[in-house]
Amino acid sequence: MRKLIVDKKFDDKNVSDFLYYNFNGLTKNTLYKAFRKKDIRINDVKIAQDKTVNLGDEVTVYIVDNLLFKTIDIEKIYEDENILVVNKPNNLEVLGNNSLTNNLSKEYTFISPCHRLDRNTKGLILFAKNEVSLNILLNKFKNHEIEKHYLAKIYGIPKIKTQKLIAYLFKDNKKSLVYISDTLKKGYVKIETSYTVIEKNEKENYSLLDIQLHTGKTHQIRAHLAHIGFPIIGDGKYGINEINKKFRCTTQELYSYSLKFNFKTDSGILNYLNGTVIKLSR
């Protein structure tokens, strides 16, 4: 049995969409059987068919876990006594129900992510294996002493090969969207994103960019690149549907592929990591 609370994202949406989002192994057949058996409840009221849920509703699911969750094979890239770096797969949250962290916690007594990736962004995630390491790493991220690089496949070819972009971002929590402005407006925060063109295909009109984040805001890379006219291929939120269909791509072509420890101050038990680069092959 599992209990979930409906958040803003699923306010006034049907309960099936809410359940499919939270349980990656749930099939239509299993859900329809649960409705028939009245194994789904909203605010402790049994329902026999799809219903609308609202913010704050409690949804109870009487389905065994092996029908709710897929088995997740997590690739470990680097590990020592203090940290763990894994390759996060697509369609998996870093935190939450059946998340990357939740799965790793079955193996580790202490495991905590030091940064986030969007659900559909693949790549490297750094975890701390103890509280001392966690506090150090959170501070290093805050002071920009850990360098993160991403690869992004974009539609179009920038005329400027290397550039640092500066703009302003507003997060709309109700719509789960962010908006970018070239000028500062009320409610907007400054963002900085650098890119370098490392490959280009003029025939197909696409490029591969190395992206470095100087600020780490929600959807920053995806929205910032779309704002300057170079959407990430496969991005269903900030991209272009016709382009995504042309490339037969349903998931954003963006992944975190490099972490570099550039410690400028004492790092305690993690001093040995200074200068270390952890990379995924392209």
Strand, coil or helix: 179 = strand
The ranges assigned to domains in the chain are: 2-67, 75-145, 149-256
Q: What is the DSSP letter of 232?
A: B
Q: How far apart are CA 255 and CA 281, in angstroms?
A: 11
* DSSP one-letter code for 67: G
List of residues 6+ apart from 135 with CB closer than 8 A = none
Class of domain 75-145: alpha beta
d(CA 218, CA 222): 9
Distance CA 219, CA 175 (A): 13
Residues 6+ apart with CB under 8 A from 193: 164, 165, 167, 211, 212, 213, 214, 215, 220, 221, 224, 225
Active site residue 172: no
CATH of domain 2-67: 3.10.290.10
Please tell me which residue in 57, 118, 210, 235 is annotated as part of the active site. 118
Taken as a whole, the chain contains a residue count of 282
Domains 75-145 and 149-256 share a fold: no
The tens digit of pLDDT for each residue in 233-276 reads: 999 999 999 999 999 998 999 999 999 999 999 999 999 999 99
Confidence (pLDDT) at 282: 66
pLDDT at residue 98 greater than cutoff 80:
no
- pLDDT tens digits for 155-205? 999 999 999 999 999 999 888 899 999 999 999 999 999 999 999 999 999
Superfamily of segment(s) 149-256: Pseudouridine synthase (3.30.2350.10)
Specify the pTM. 0.77
The 3-class SS string of 95-134 reads: CCCCCHHHHHCCCCCCCEECCCCCCCCEEEEEEECCHHHH
As a whole number of angstroms, the distance between CA 259 and CA 141 comes to: 11
- Give one DSSP letter per residue of 251-280, joined into a string: S--EEEEEEEE---S--GGGGGGTT-EEE-
Q: Which of 88, 6, 5 is nearest to 280 (CA)?
A: 88
Predicted local distance difference test score (pLDDT) of residue 65: 83
Q: What is the pLDDT of residue 102?
A: 87
The whole-angstrom distance between residue 249's C-alpha and the CA centroid of its chain comes to 18
Contact status, residue 85 vs residue 79, Cβ threshold 8 Å? yes
Nearest-angstrom CA–CA distance, 28 and 47: 16
Give me the mean pLDDT over the 110-121 stretch: 93
First to last CA, the chain: 41
Q: What is the pLDDT of residue 17?
A: 93
